[in-house]
Amino acid sequence: MGKGKLEKFADMQAYPHVFEYPYAMIADAVCPMQGKWQSDFFKNNRPLVLELGCGRGEYTVGLARLFPEKNFIGVDIKGARMWTGATESLREGLQNVAFLRTNIELIDRFFAPSEVDEIWLTFSDPQMKKATKRLTSTYFMERYRRFLKPGGIIHLKTDSPFLYTYTKYMVEKNHFPVLFDTDDLYHSGCTDNILGIRTYYEQQWLERGLTIKYLKFALPHEGELAEPEVEIELDSYRSYNRSKRSTLQTGR
């Protein structure tokens, strides 16, 4: 029998590589780890990569295996899901992995200016009703600028035509450099092993015949950001396990 939520939360509290700062703990404060991830936890100066909305942590752990020369932090508010990747990385003894359980709208309180090199957004909720909740909105780009190095890289991997299209318009509107773009990743001819990491739900989406979209772009620090003023067709399906309640909500 698998562990229940309470048992998983108890495990997480004892894991040395898991940091938990839900909204109630840090609503009006700065995280004590801000600016200290490399010196106090990873004990090195290697590039730092975040996965925002990491879910079970498959990508965070998969990237850590592929790139031992980089440090990775998976971020999500749902600890019961995060437990999977946190437990797996602990059992494997991966020294370049950490997990941060918090609300993503507070993400800029956890990292100092230029502390982060890259951000991965893997199968984020498209948040079709409200732009400011989309993890690729200018609302979040402003936050990412506060801790991402100038020209730092953002990766979007998604099953959602809506989120992919919206992000392309946002990138174009703000003249961000596009480094790679495809609306059908697994038929794009791309052989990069990074993109071969498949999450649990991604495999199910592929089996449903859905295409996976991937957009890689740089985020300059200069310039005022503007939202694209376009009408985008809504997704005609509902992704697996995508709840009506956003993970960006500030309560439990």
- The residues annotated as belonging to the active site are 125
Q: Which residues lie closer than 8 Å to 170 by C-beta, 6 or more apart? A: 136, 137, 138, 141, 227, 228
Closest CA to 120 of 159, 142, 152, 146: 152
Residue by residue, DSSP assigns the chain as ----HHHHHHHHHH-TTEEE--HHHHTTS--TTTTTIIIIII-S---EEEEET-TT-HHHHHHHHH-TTSEEEEEES-HHHHHHHHHHHHHHT-TTEEEEES-GGGGGGSS-TT-EEEEEEES----TT-GGGSTTSHHHHHHHHTTEEEEEEEEEEES-HHHHHHHHHHHHHTTPPEEEEES-GGGS----GGGG---HHHHHHHHTTPPPEEEEEEE-SSS---------PPPSS--TT--SS-TT-S--
**Beta strand 213-219 pairing with 178-182:** antiparallel
- Amino acid identity for residue 62 in this structure: G
- Asked if 158 and 124 touch (Cβ cutoff 8 Å), the reply is yes
Closest CA to 192 of 179, 201, 202: 179
